[in-house]
Structure 1
Amino acid sequence: MTVRYNTILVAVDGSDEAKRAFRKAVLLSKDHDAKLLLVHIVDTRSAAAVGHYNQTIFSEAEQNAMGMMNEYKELAEKEGVSDVTVVLDYGSPKVKIARDVAQKHNVDLIVTGATGLNAVERFLIGSVSQHITRNAACDVLIVRTETEVK
């Protein structure tokens, strides 16, 4: 039996782990002729911890995220991925990626780094990748190693 993925979601946050996951997701998208979803979730829980709502925080976070995601999109297209979509959302990354975004876009593979930027959250309540693995309805690839160049 041959497994074919049609829609691959890669979670990106600017970390080195996310960059490795992105590179593997690009290779898989090309191999499977699959749509690639570049997903970044602005973590609204962090802003709530600051104590008060500040629209400037979200505006800056959105601008930074869109800049990063557009760079990733350009790289994927240069590598030959023909269908790349950028998804920016707000909320809890672990919940939004595993449930909301994956279901909305009929994702059949989620690619994520083993760890991301938020070490404190990982220590206190578990990593985003662990949550995605436990709660996603589709296959999940946790990337720990660098993509080999042939």
Structure 2
Amino acid sequence: MYKHILLAIDGSENSFRAAKDAVGIATEESLIEIISSIPTEAISNEPLHMGTLTQTDEQYIQKLSREIDYVKSNHPHLKLTIVHGPAGRMISNYANHHNVDLVVIGCRGLNTMQEMVFGSVSTYVSKNANCSTLLVK
């Protein structure tokens, strides 16, 4: 089974569904590591208005509280990791360098044109992570 599950969240409805699936897949011995990426743009602009990067991280974590609280209340082994930079690259690189067995990530369900224009974090992760990836709609 999966010993290390990396749950990528962003505060969306699909992200919450991914949290539910990660808990459902995990065994009692599994570590569910929640990862979320603060976009690079937020780092360069927000600290000017908000004070410090630590405050930015804390406010961002508030946005993720529903998923974090759900996993905390339904699974005994949880770790939270916040990274800074482009989400797809940060999540897949983290998975590749930390012995992750499975990445669980919500997907927005973009159509082909939207995906070409905007890109897709879940598509990027599924193509670049060296482990299994579960895309949750």
Task: Give TM-score scaled by structure 2 length.
Answer: 0.81
Q: Give the CA deviation at 1:33.
A: 2.9
What are the Cα deviations for residues 65-104 of structure 1, in whole angstroms up to 9, with x where unaligned?
Answer: 223445533322321x1210000010111000011x2133
State which of 38, 42, 49 in structure 1 corresponds to 2:38. Answer: 42
Give me the CA root mean square deviation. 2.7
Deviation at 1:29, TM superposition (A): 1.6
Change (3 A) 1:108 1:67: same
Contact 1:40 1:65 in 2 (8 A): no
Q: Counterpart of 2:22?
A: 25
Q: 2:85 aligns with which of 84, 91, 103?
A: 91
Contact 2:107 2:122 in 1 (8 A): yes
Residues in 1 aligned to 2:84 and 2:18: alpha-carbon distance in whole angstroms: 21
- Tell me the residue number matched to 2:69: 74
Provide the identity percentage. 24
Aligned-residue offset at 1:37: 0.5
CA 1:122–1:62: 2 relative to 1, 3 Å: farther
Residue 56 of structure 1: aligned partner = 50
Per the alignment, do residues 66 and 107 of structure 1 end up closer, same or farther by CA in structure 2, a change over 3 Å counting?
same
Q: TM-score, normalised by structure 1?
A: 0.74
Q: How many residues align?
A: 132
| Structure 2 alignment gaps of length 5 or more | none
